[in-house]
Structure 1
Amino acid sequence: MTGERRVDAVVFDYGGVLTGPVRHSIAAWIEADGIEPASFSRTLKAWLSRDAADGTPIHRLETGELSVAEFDALFAAELTTVDGRPVDPVGLLGRLFAGMRPDPAMFALCEELRDLGVRVALLSNSWGNTYPRERIDALLDPVVISGEVGLRKPLAPIYELTLDRLDLPAERVVFVDDAEPNLLGARALGMQALLHTDAAGTRAALAELVPDLPPQPLPAVPQH
């Protein structure tokens, strides 16, 4: 071992961290459905920005208080299309996330960390529980999904619940997310936190905390 390991667990967000960027899926949906981008940006800001009032439709979706169908109807009513057609609410979130795919490099990183004795876990704000559950349940423990526990990032209780399930002190846990407010929530509890932009950057940052982790993926062994 080349140095002292500084974490005992890594907690990953799902959308935009263990998957490709969510913005790519959103951009494809906006184009396919003919959504006026300004109406989407305006609604997202009103419902999810740092100064949004508590209890917006997104907050209630994330904590499971709103069903996906109820949210889809509220969301569609706020959106406009470039040609003036009404937005079809049926399956709206499904279309928005249709292009989101698991990132093989990040799942491989999770497996490497686990093989090194580092615990890997999931902490995700749910927008409809569109998760590959068999895959993540086999790899990540605990799996904390906002809609299942009635709590949401970046509020403290969901981080406290995750730490309780890990049974580890906050300073021995690092949280990886692609949204700065969620990192601030983790740091407020004493957790370490890393902003995810891509798999290579996150791997390199984690290699500083887990010295046995190679900062770059090992080359695949050719099959003969």
Structure 2
Amino acid sequence: MVPCHAGRRPLYAHVTRGDALSYRGLILDFGGVLTTRMRLNGEAFERSEGLTPGAYFHALEEHPDGVRVYADLEVGRATQEEWNHVIGGILGIDPTDLMRRALANLRPEPAIVAAAERARSAGIKVALLSNSFGLEPFNPYKQLGMYQDFDAVVLSEVERVRKPSAAIYQRTLAALDLTGPECVFVDDHAKNLPPAEALGITTIHHTDAAVTAARLDELLFQSATRTATQ
């Protein structure tokens, strides 16, 4: 897991497996859950590129070519370079290494990273499940240190299927060697939750890092161990 930021006070000094409830797995989305908010990152990108507010989101979510290339990127039908050129063309900006620039303001979300660390320290398996941003030439997962210390990393580009398809949740469960009722899944897009719930997975719709972290502690542990002292 991403190293704790210096000076950040941990919520709990120690968690043991004996404190855990029946959940044995935690599945976390990447962009907007394990990282800071995607909307804030996109707004910062627009400012840095001198774009009209909302232009980037329109290119991704409404422009037909942008919607198509993003969907294709997520399942490995388009390369990141193709995404760069299509989105750059829509926005009228230099496409060179555009994904790197577009995600430049994304950071690990400390509260969720810490919650994942607590889960793993208790023996709970933790998986990263992401609709891919592409891996070449820019790998955002590696850039943010999101490969190490996960029991499974499931990327839609590799699997050739994306959320909210039930298949990608089934593959994540298989990678963890767990059943749906043994797992909790966190995602910031509500549409991604029902297919997971249909497999018996407990879901959390993420809107606030502190609230989600507290909910995870509530679900995964009967009670906190002793509070850390300064």
Query: TM-score when scaled to structure 2?
Result: 0.80
Q: 1:218 to 1:65 in 2, by over 3 A?
A: farther
- The answer (yes or no) to whether the contact 2:111–2:213 under 8 Å persists in 1 is no
Q: Which sections of structure 1, spanning at least 5 residues, go unmatched?
A: 80-85
1:193 matched to which residue of 2? 203
Aligned pair count reads 209
* CA offset digits 1:162-182 (Å, max 9, x no partner): 111112111111110111111
* Pairing partner for 2:100 from 66, 69, 94: 94
2:27 matched to which residue of 1? 11
1:41-56 to 2 correspondences below 5 Å? 41-46=57-62, 56=68
- The answer (yes or no) to whether the contact 1:112–1:213 under 8 Å persists in 2 is no
Is the aligned partner of 1:110 residue 2:116? Answer: yes
2:184 partner SS: strand
* CA offset digits 1:26-66 (Å, max 9, x no partner): 1111011122234333333336xxxx9xx821111111221
1:58 partner SS: helix
1:30 matched to which residue of 2? 46
Q: What is the distance in 2 between the residues matched to 1:16 and 1:25?
A: 9
2:8 matched to which residue of 1? none
Q: What is the distance in 1 between the residues matched to 2:19 and 2:113?
A: 25
Bigger drift between 111-120 and 126-135 goes to 126-135
Is the aligned partner of 1:62 residue 2:74? Answer: yes
Is the aligned partner of 1:172 residue 2:178? Answer: no
1:136 matched to which residue of 2? 146
How far residue 128 of structure 1 moved from its aligned partner, in angstroms, is: 2.3
- The answer (yes or no) to whether the contact 1:14–1:123 under 8 Å persists in 2 is yes
Residue identity opposite 1:95 in structure 2: R
1:142-221 to 2 correspondences below 5 Å? 142-212=152-222, 214=224, 221=229
Bigger drift between 204-213 and 25-34 goes to 204-213
Structure with higher RCO (Cα < 8 A, 6+ apart): 2
CA RMSD, 1 decimal = 2.7
How far residue 107 of structure 1 moved from its aligned partner, in angstroms, is: 1.7
2:36 partner SS: coil
* CA offset digits 1:89-138 (Å, max 9, x no partner): 11222111000011222222111111122111110111123113794333
Q: 1:218 to 1:96 in 2, by over 3 A?
A: farther
- The answer (yes or no) to whether the contact 2:108–2:144 under 8 Å persists in 1 is no
Query: TM-score when scaled to structure 1?
Result: 0.82
* CA offset digits 1:168-220 (Å, max 9, x no partner): 11111111011111122322332111011233111221233223463xx9765
Bigger drift between 173-182 and 198-207 goes to 198-207
Q: What is the distance in 2 between the residues matched to 1:135 and 1:72?
A: 23
Q: What is the distance in 1 between the residues matched to 2:88 and 2:95?
A: 5
Percent sequence identity is 36
Q: What is the distance in 1 between the residues matched to 2:19 and 2:148?
A: 29
How far residue 221 of structure 1 moved from its aligned partner, in angstroms, is: 4.1
Q: 1:142 to 1:213 in 2, by over 3 A?
A: farther
- The answer (yes or no) to whether the contact 2:26–2:124 under 8 Å persists in 1 is yes
Q: What is the distance in 2 between the residues matched to 1:32 and 1:177?
A: 27
2:148 partner SS: helix
Q: Which sections of structure 2, spanning at least 5 residues, go unmatched?
A: 1-16
Residue identity opposite 1:148 in structure 2: V
- The answer (yes or no) to whether the contact 1:6–1:209 under 8 Å persists in 2 is no
Q: What is the distance in 2 between the residues matched to 1:163 and 1:139?
A: 17
